[in-house]
Amino acid sequence: MNHNPAPALVVLPTYNERDGLPQVVLGVRSHGHDVLIVDDASPDGTGVLADQLAASDGGVAVIHRPRKLGLGSAYVAGFRQGLEGRYGFLVEMDSDGSHRLEHLDPIIEACAGRGGLVIGSRYVKGGTVAGWPRRRRFLSWAANRYCQLLLGWSVRDATSGYRCYSRSALESIGLEDIRSSGYEFQIEMVHRCLRHQLSIAEVPISFEDRIAGRSKVSRAEVLNGLIGVLRLRFQGRS
């Protein structure tokens, strides 16, 4: 286990991530951070593998959920468990290898220095995206521009899933009030941090399209995200 005064917990939501999970978990542990895997009853046996990883390493824990309940709700479950412990920082990270381990410590260190939320950003100076076709790049850019225009903020990469929250930030925004269960969760969390006047910083990352498994983002998820931004604009003023 990590013995730093304010250790970090990396939350890894999983659904059919058996191929990439061991490498990510071992990489995070090699950086001295603990891991919490939140598995949504993956039919490929990811949950069983997660239990094996936890049995061999006291710095790894697992939450098993009965079915696929959404990325956002998985992170909320992980954050709640992390806040019950001694963690000063809680990290969102993908289980498929698209988030490079070399960026993990800089993101956490930036959060330790500033508090609030630090986003691993593809769209600030120094950030890059590799492996995406032109259409996917455009959709990602357009989604973030859409957020900027409708919500009036300057955050460049509100959809990034590589980020770190300080403990105090998560305690401030009210996890019990989070409405988003899917990928629009990332946008809602940025919105809530801004509404609570918390610090938000972006540090550049090099994003690489998933190394293992298949993307879980469907057209329905994209549509829900667009609707979610409208909801935040006109109703989400909590």
The CATH fold assigned to 8-234 is Spore Coat Polysaccharide Biosynthesis Protein SpsA; Chain A (3.90.550)
Is residue 1 over pLDDT 50?
no
What pLDDT, in 10s, does the model give residues 76-127?
999 999 999 999 999 999 999 999 999 999 999 999 999 999 999 999 999 9
Kindly report the number of other CB atoms within 10 A of residue 83's CB atom.
15
What is the SS3 assignment for 137? helix
Model pLDDT, residue 236: 47
Does 163 score more than 90 pLDDT? Answer: yes
Buried-exposed string 203-234: b where 16+ CB fall within 10 A, e elsewhere:
bbbebbebebbeebeeeeeeebbeebbebbee
Look at 143 and 161; give whichever has higher pLDDT: 161
Look at residue 220 and tell me whether its pLDDT is greater than 70. no
Indicate the pTM of the whole model. Answer: 0.89
Tell me what pLDDT residue 156 has: 96
Between CA 106 and CA 232 the distance in angstroms is 30
CA dist., res. 30 & res. 32, Å (int): 5
pLDDT tens readout for residues 191-215:
999 999 999 999 999 998 865 545 5
**Is residue 126 left, alpha or beta, with left meaning phi > 0 and alpha meaning psi from -120 to 50?**
left
* 122-126, 165-169, 183-187, 204-208: least confidently modelled range: 183-187
Domain residue ranges in the chain: 8-234
